[in-house]
Amino acid sequence: MSAASALPRQEPASPAMLRAPIAMTKWRGHSGCTYVAVIHDLSGDDLATMGECVVLGAARTSSGIADLLGAAVSSPTAARSLAARFAKRGATEMHVIHAADTAAGRTVIASDLQP
């Protein structure tokens, strides 16, 4: 499987996402499901306000594509420690997904997006 077709992977943003007032991106998981994420800076003050979510640690390549370094279920109390853990792996961004209402759903998404 080529690097371009390997899963999980970042996918091109739609035109509507590019016009959004916040930075957004899409990820395709191992299952083929697509997840929309909001991009946050690792040192952002908003980390504690993200709520229950799935967080992806990512670093930009020279071509501008995000390299996925890890995926985890997060909570307001865990966000800063996850940011530190991802930073140690070389992450410069956290991609936050709010696509599941339950802990079980968030766990499924995090597993689907594990590199």
pLDDT in tens, the chain (115 residues): 455 567 788 877 777 766 767 888 999 999 999 999 999 888 767 777 788 999 999 998 898 889 999 999 998 888 888 999 999 999 999 999 999 999 999 999 999 999 9
The CB-side HSE value for 51 (13 A sphere, CA atoms) comes to: 9
Residues near 34 by beta carbon (within 8 Å), at least 6 away in sequence: 11, 26, 27, 28
Residues near 99 by beta carbon (within 8 Å), at least 6 away in sequence: 35, 36, 54, 105, 109
Query: In this structure, which amino acid lies at residue 42?
Result: L
Q: Rounded to two decimals, what is the model's pTM?
A: 0.84
Where do the DSSP E strands lie in the chain? 9-11, 24-28, 34-41, 53-60, 66-74, 93-97
